[in-house]
Amino acid sequence: MIAFEHTPRTRLVFGPGTIHQVGTLAAALGFRKTLIVADSGMDDAGHTKTVLFSLAGQGIASTPWSSFNSNPDSRMIEHGRAFAEQLDIDSVIGLGGGSSMDCAKAINILLTNGGRIQDYWGHNKVPKPLLPMIGIPATTGTGSEAQTYALISDAETHTKMAIGDDKAAFAIAVLDPDITRTQPFGVRAAAGYDAISHAVETLVTTKRNAISGCFSREAWRRMNPNFELILQEPGNTGALAEMQLGAWFAGCAIEASMLGATHACANPLTAIYGIPHGQAIAVMLPHVVRWNSQPEYKEFHPDLPGRLRELAGAARLKTSLSQLGVARERLDEMAALAAQQWTGRFNPRPFAADAALELYQCAY
């Protein structure tokens, strides 16, 4: 039996067309002047404009900021803080993929608490309250809108820092499946596979509890049959909605259960080789599941590693480290880095550098 506490911190507003309610929802929270942290894809897709329009309808002034990429680092956060400081904002909106959500949280922390983002690496290290935030995910993956964690790389050392604080929860998450239709194939593939890995990893961690188990199972139940569908039928809003909700549930599961060896092994691949997170996860996950070999996996699928390989194939994700150009000579170095990842501590099978090396060799 594992003792636990569960506090839902984010109000969830789900449904087609809910993006048009953002203005009213923001006004009810008292927003008057807001920063919209939106990745550049949001501009092209027209979503930034929709949000601006909805806010303007309630007399809320807003300024978009998009000077970051899919692997946000401390320098980008500094830049975002400097940009936001001159605007005298009272609130923040994150719009887009996981990087938008993470940047919104990290910029908000620096604006309200000062210092460098490195100062807040870890859990609950933010002393003062943050500005209220709304999260609007536009990818069917990530689940960052359900979490109080931001993943930011140190621009000097390339270490991926997990910065988590209860104060960094979004006040509201707006999940509108209609806006996820514009995701390109590669984004659907990588973000969706990552969300699936969240369901799989959270199911078995040492921190899992009665509630996180509900979230993990519900996430898998929705995403397993719908991932291939959103790849084959880009306009299938029903399947996109299932993936979007699945990613949300998986994000809620992480909040309680953390993650495992897959994320610990994937982070150095992103830090050293710049391999996108979802792709790095796809290479490692089937091997970690086989290596962990937990009885709970059978609840998801009689041959879970096989099913996960099948899903990676449908997503046209590469399945070996050699295909990704990783040098065999650097596996030791990466294994040492993987062993330092905080998330590896929660893996059900004890995980250290020797285990990471074994997993990298399997995935080579």
Which residues are within 8 A (CB) of 183 and not within 5 positions of it... i.e. 6 or more apart? Answer: 138, 139, 140, 191
Calculate the CA 341 to chain-centre distance. Answer: 16
Radius of gyration of the chain (CA): 19
Instruction: At 291, list the tokens.
Output: 């290596």
- Check: CB of residue 185 under 8 Å from CB of residue 49: no
**CB contact at 8 A, 198 and 144:** no
Stretch that binds Fe ion, among 112-120, 187-195, 287-295, 300-308 (CB under 5 A): 187-195
Please say which residue, 73 or 194, places its beta carbon nearer to Fe ion.
Answer: 194
Please say which residue, 41 or 278, places its beta carbon nearer to Fe ion.
278
By beta-carbon proximity to Fe ion, the closer residue of 70 and 91 is: 70
Q: Tell me if residue 327 falls in helix, strand or coil.
A: coil
Smallest distance from the beta carbon of 88 to Fe ion, in angstroms? 34
Nearer to Fe ion, 92 or 195 (CB): 195
Residue count of the chain, please give it. 364
* CB atoms near residue 354 (< 10 Å): 10
- As a whole number of angstroms, the distance between CA 21 and CA 43 comes to 19
Contact 123, 227 (CB under 8 A): no
Closest separation in Å from C-beta 166 to Fe ion = 20
**Closest approach of Fe ion to the CB of residue 169, in Å:** 18
Closer residue to Fe ion in complex, CB, 145/194? 194
What three-state secondary structure class fits 324?
coil
User: Which of 13-21, 84-92, 189-197, 321-329 is the region at the interface with Fe ion (rule: CB under 5 A)?
Assistant: 189-197
For Fe ion, the binding residues in 20-59 under the rule CB under 5 A are none
- In the bound state, the residue with its beta carbon closest to Fe ion is 194
**Is there binding between residue 165 and Fe ion (CB under 5 A)?**
no
Question: How many residues touch Fe ion (CB under 5 A)?
Answer: 1
Hey, which residues between 192 and 211 contact Fe ion (CB under 5 A)?
194
Span near Fe ion by CB under 5 A; candidates 1-9, 186-194, 243-251, 345-353: 186-194
DSSP, collapsed to helix, strand or coil, labels residue 8 as: coil
Of 38 and 258, the one with the shorter C-beta distance to Fe ion is 258
| Dihedral over alpha carbons 149, 89, 35, 71 (to 10 degrees) | -40
Q: How far is the CB of 105 from Fe ion (least distance, A)?
A: 16
Q: How far is the CB of 118 from Fe ion (least distance, A)?
A: 21
Tokens of 285: 């996950």
Closer residue to Fe ion in complex, CB, 200/241: 200
Supply the minimum distance, in Å, between the C-beta of residue 47 and Fe ion.
22
Residues that bind Fe ion (CB under 5 A): 194
